[in-house]
Amino acid sequence: MAINIDKENLEKALQKTVETEQPPISKEEEIGFHKGALNTLLAERNELIKIIANVEAIMQAHLKRLGELGVTTQKN
């Protein structure tokens, strides 16, 4: 399931689809929102990098052991 975000117009992308009027938020609140979102996404990205590193290390261990057992593997 993909989310389409209009990267050129974040204000429009973040607008709610609800028909009710939302009070405008101040510039400071919007800045805080975007900074908070970036901090959260940065932490999520860092965790994904750790997961990928762990998976790669485990794959390398399996490949090494297969090599020790005489099985040749092909790189893709």
pLDDT at 27: 94
Helix (H) / strand (E) element for 37: namely helix 27-68
To the question of pTM greater than 0.85 for the whole model, the response is: no
pLDDT at 7: 72
Angle at alpha carbon of residue 17, lines to 12 and 23, rounded to 5°: 75
Choose among 16, 19, 61, 14: nearest CA to 36.
14
Name the phi and psi angles at 11, rounded to 5: -60, -45
pLDDT lower than 70: segments of the chain = 1-3, 5-6, 13-20
Query: What three-state secondary structure class fits 42?
Result: helix
pLDDT at 1: 54
